[in-house]
């Protein structure tokens, strides 16, 4: 489950940048706009006939992902909280330990440090679980991509309803583990 969370977050981050790049062709302006705004979008991901969908919101290095297999992931850019309400568990980790590909905020700001464009493929500069990403279709507010994983499987990814908004409070990206209730098990790995 954690692998799919990692893959979905990586794809969402990468795809959001690529979708807007395909429209503006001006990466510097886009990244500047993203840095000054809160960006949200709907997503869908299918790997091995297992599908997930939901919505993600980014702001600087912070993000919130809703709907991933019934879980929610919150990150203020320093700490990450993965909340599984069905299992009544909260996992607390250092964001930097999740790696750059699992951090939409960090990936958006530095994608060129981690991928290079080779023809129509975005290829990782370092070893990771992704062999390459191909953007198949891109409109003003949607994107479809295929991702070849290093184990040979293919993930299908879609992104839609991209919305840029003014920055909001940073507290929107923090999960209060104490508010989860007494029945929740909180595992803090920091």
Q: Which region holds residue 134: left if phi is over 0, alpha if psi is between -120 and 50, else beta?
A: beta
pLDDT of residue 11: 52
| Predicted local distance difference test score (pLDDT) of residue 3 | 52
What are residue 112's phi and psi, to 5 degrees?
Answer: -65, -20
CATH of the domain at 16: 2.50.20.10
What does the pLDDT look like over 109-135, one tens digit per residue?
Answer: 556 677 777 777 778 888 777 888 777
Q: What does the alpha-carbon distance between residue 110 and residue 106 come to, in Å, rounded to a whole number?
A: 6
Tens-digit pLDDT profile for residues 72-101: 999 998 999 999 999 999 999 998 887 655
Per-residue confidence band for 150, with pLDDT thresholds at 50, 70 and 90? confident
Q: Whole domain around residue 85: which residue ranges?
A: 2-188
Domains contained in the chain, number: 1
């Amino acid at each position: 489950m954690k692998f799919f969370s990692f893959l979905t977050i990586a794809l969402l981050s990468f795809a959001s940048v690529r979708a807007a790049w395909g429209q503006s062709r001006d990466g510097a302006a886009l990244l500047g706009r993203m840095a000054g705004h809160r960006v949200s979008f709907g997503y869908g991901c299918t790997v091995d006939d297992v599908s997930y969908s939901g919505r993600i919101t980014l702001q600087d290095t912070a993000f919130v992902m809703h709907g991933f297999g019934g879980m929610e992931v919150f990150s203020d850019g320093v700490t990450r909280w993965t909340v599984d309400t069905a299992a009544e568990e909260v996992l607390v980790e250092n964001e930097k330990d999740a790696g750059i590909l699992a951090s939409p905020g960090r990936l958006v700001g530095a994608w060129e440090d981690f991928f290079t464009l080779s023809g129509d493929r975005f290829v990782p500069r370092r070893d990771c679980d992704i062999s390459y990403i191909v953007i198949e279709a891109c409109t003003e507010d949607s994107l479809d991509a295929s991702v070849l994983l290093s184990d040979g499987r293919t993930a299908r990814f879609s992104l839609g309803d991209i919305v840029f908004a003014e920055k909001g409070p940073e507290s929107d990206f923090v999960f209060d583990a104490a508010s989860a209730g007494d029945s929740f098990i909180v595992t803090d790995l920091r």
